[in-house]
Amino acid sequence: MKILVIAPTPFFADRGTHIRILEEALALEKRGHKITIATYHIGKDIDANVQTEVDVRRIRRLLFWYKKLEAGPDWQKILLDIMLIRKAFNLARTQKPDIIHGHLHEGVLIGWIVKTVLFWRKMKLVADFHGSLTKEMVSHSYLNGGPLKKIFCSIERWVNNLGDSAMASSEELAKDIALFRTDHQVSTILDGANLAHYSNLPSKIELKKEFELPLDKTIVTYTGALMGNKGIEYLLQAIPEVLKKTPNAYFVVAGFPAENVVKFVSDNGLSASVRVISPLDYFDLSKILMASDIGVDPKDSTTLQASGKILQYMAAGLGVVCFDRPNNRAYLGNGAEYAQEISAAGLTEAIIKLVNDQEKTRFQGEFNKKQIEKFSWDLSSEKIEEIYFKQ
């Protein structure tokens, strides 16, 4: 099948949304489909790291000053999305795809516009939701309350009902969106892990030496966006408390944007026990995780987003500390130390427990390495293909 993927984002950047878009496309390509991705004018070219025939088409660089790669709303994206409508329309008109696969609410809306204008082509629109549009805007402080929030809530509910089929990246999000769809049908397509990234790597000790990490300490690692809606504040508040009670812990915080984290580490005199790595290339992610012992995900349920980073922790055979969310349970089962409450104090207690219990950490790591086989992108692509073929 010919598939037109609409990615209203600066693809590729080293964060979860882009990893899902990339790995879905690569897995579908392996199944014989022809993939074209329509996206913004900025972002890394994937050809340098991946052997693929996935065709990435970008809008024109009219907004040449726009260089934002991190997640979060920006009013300039309205202009970029208008340009993306034009790009997607031209690609749909010339390539005649069987499927329009819209990522995020903006991508679904753009796909619906293109499908509606070219109605005689009878293209199927598949909506791929990653989180709640309004809740994400609130989490980034772009919306508070009042009439504007109500307007965006109405828009989100309407977009939730678009698409011939819909899928979501977490069970929580799927249930939320199903409430607003007339067919009440939303498939949960969990993120996966590319296990090939974790094969044929040096030993843990060699990797610790490569990254100049202490060999005699337990390495506790967070990877991902360093933003409020990812729970980074919970982690930053927890780090000094953990270090007071467990001096054998050492933290790695890797991702972007790093300015606030670097300042926090400096202001609190934590440089001897915390390493900040920024940016972290997705294709180097496996090495830093294989050099670690415990992975932390402090994301709460605010935006209903899934947590792809947990799957990366599992693929690396790490013990995991996270909050007790349905999506996390679906991934980890017995492979995690779940915080008793969604707070910095809850996260602190859970990290301390796991750092002080090396036997449990090893058990979780071995358990997660077996569990991750249930969450490969190959399995996810099979489910997506079923959605494509469903009448």
For residue 277, which phi and psi values (nearest 5 degrees)?
-115, 115
Give residue 369's pLDDT: 95
Q: How far is the CA of 20 from the CAs of 86, 167, 194, 197, 302, in angstroms?
A: 24, 13, 11, 15, 20
Find the angle CA(368)-CA(343)-CA(282) to the nearest 5 degrees.
Answer: 45
Residue 194 has pLDDT above 70, yes or no: yes
- 60-100: per-residue pLDDT in tens? 999 999 998 887 778 899 999 999 999 999 999 999 999 99
Q: How large is the average pLDDT for residues 338-346?
A: 95
Give residue 390's pLDDT: 86
For the question of whether the overall pTM of this predicted structure is more than 0.85, the answer is yes
Terminal-residue alpha carbon distance, the chain: 15
- 251-271: per-residue pLDDT in tens? 999 999 899 999 999 999 999
Model confidence at 305, pLDDT cuts 50, 70, 90, reads low
Give residue 140's pLDDT: 66
Give residue 134's pLDDT: 83
Model confidence at 35, pLDDT cuts 50, 70, 90, reads very high
For residue 105, which phi and psi values (nearest 5 degrees)?
-65, -40
Domains defined along the chain, listed by start: 2-192+376-389 (3.40.50.2000), 195-375 (3.40.50.2000)
HEC string for the chain: CEEEEECCCCCCCCCHHHHHHHHHHHHHHHCCCEEEEEECCCCCCHHHCCCCCCEEEECCCCCCCCCCCCCCCCCCHHHHHHHHHHHHHHHHHHHCCCEEEEEHHHHHHHHHHHHHHCHHHCCEEEEEECCCHHHHHHHCCCCCCHHHHHHHHHHHHHHHCCCCEEEECCHHHHHHHHCCCCCCCCEECCCCECHHHHCCCCCHHHHHHHCCCCCCCEEEEEECCCCHHHCHHHHHHHHHHHHHHCCCEEEEEECCCCHHHHHHHHHCCCCCCEEEECCCCHHHHHHHHHCCCEEEECCCCCCCCCCHHHHHHHHCCCEEEEECCHHHHHHHCCCEEEECCCCHHHHHHHHHHHHCCHHHHHHHHHHHHHHHHHHEHHHHHHHHHHHHHCC
Give residue 279's pLDDT: 87
> Chain centroid to CA 331: how far?
14
Residue with tokens 């990797």: 207
For residue 356, which phi and psi values (nearest 5 degrees)?
-85, 0
Give residue 359's pLDDT: 96
Q: Which two tokens stand for residue 379?
A: 């399995």
Give residue 304's pLDDT: 64
For β-strands 336-339 and 319-323, DSSP reports them as: parallel
- 311-328: per-residue pLDDT in tens? 999 999 999 999 998 889
Q: How large is the average pLDDT for residues 2-8?
A: 98
Residue 303 has pLDDT above 90, yes or no: no
Residue 244 has pLDDT above 90, yes or no: yes
Give residue 227's pLDDT: 85
Give residue 290's pLDDT: 97
- 350-391: per-residue pLDDT in tens? 999 999 999 999 999 999 999 999 888 999 999 999 999 986
Residue 144 has pLDDT above 80, yes or no: no
Count how many Cα atoms sit within 13 Å of the Cα of residue 39 in the half-sphere of its side chain. 26
